[in-house]
Amino acid sequence: MKSWLEESILNSHQSMDEDSLGYYLGRGIPSWMVAALKMGVFIPPDTQAPDKDFVNKQGYHGEEVSGWFSIPVWTPSGKILGVEFRNPPVSEKKKVRKFFLPEANWTASFMGMCPEVMQKIADGADIWLAEGIFDLCIAHVIPSKDVALGCGGAKISAPQKEFLKRFLRKGSVVKVVFDEDQTGREHSE
C-alpha cells in the first residue's frame, strides 16, 4: 500500500494546475512547503488500492476523493505515513477524510513534517505547533530558522510529545499556537 499511495500522491502533486496551487498559496501555505510536502489534487490511479480500509472509505482507486486536495503526511526521513484529503472549496461544506498506514499508530506524525523541516529541528530550530495544515500559514511570520508543524487537531499526542522530547535541541523551545477557541485554549496549556 505504501508504494501505491506514494506514487498516487507524487502523481497528484506533479499534475496540479495553477488554480489549485493558488488555493494552497491563498490559504497561506508557503510555496516551498507545497513543493516539499508534495501537496496536490488527488488523481485516482488506474490500479486498485491494495488496502481494504482505503477501498472501503475512498473507493477502489480513490474515486471518492478524486479532485480533492491531497495533503501527505511524511516521516522525518521522507517516508509516506498517510494523507489528508479535503474537498474543493466550491463544495457545500468542508469535508476531510484521512488515511494513515499502520505505522502511523506508533510514529509521531505532524502536518508539515519533511526532511527539510527535520534538518532545521536538528540544527536547533524552535518549533511552533499549530492545529492543522492551514494553520501552518504562521510559517510566513515566524523566524526563518524556526519550523511550523501541525498536530492534526488541538491536542499533542503521546508519540508527538516523545518526538519533541527526543529531538528538540537544548536551548530550543516549543511554542503552542492553537486556535483561540475553547478546545485550542484547553489543550495549549
Per-residue pLDDT reduced to its tens digit, 118-129: 999 999 999 999
- CA 38 to CA 6: how far, in whole Å? 10
Q: How many CB atoms lie within 10 A of CB 88?
A: 13
Range list of β-strands (E), the chain: 40-41, 69-74, 80-86, 96-100, 127-130, 147-150, 174-176
* Other CB atoms within 10 Å distance of the CB of residue 90: 5
123-180: per-residue pLDDT in tens?
A: 999 999 999 999 999 999 999 999 999 999 889 999 999 999 999 999 999 999 998 7
- Count of CB atoms situated within 10 Å of the CB of 185: 12
Cell (9 digits) for 74: 511524511
Q: Kindly report, residue by residue over 76-90, the tens digit of the pLDDT.
A: 989 999 999 999 988
Global confidence as pTM = 0.89
Share of the chain above pLDDT 70, in %: 95
Contact indicator for 142, 149 with CB cutoff of 8 Å: no
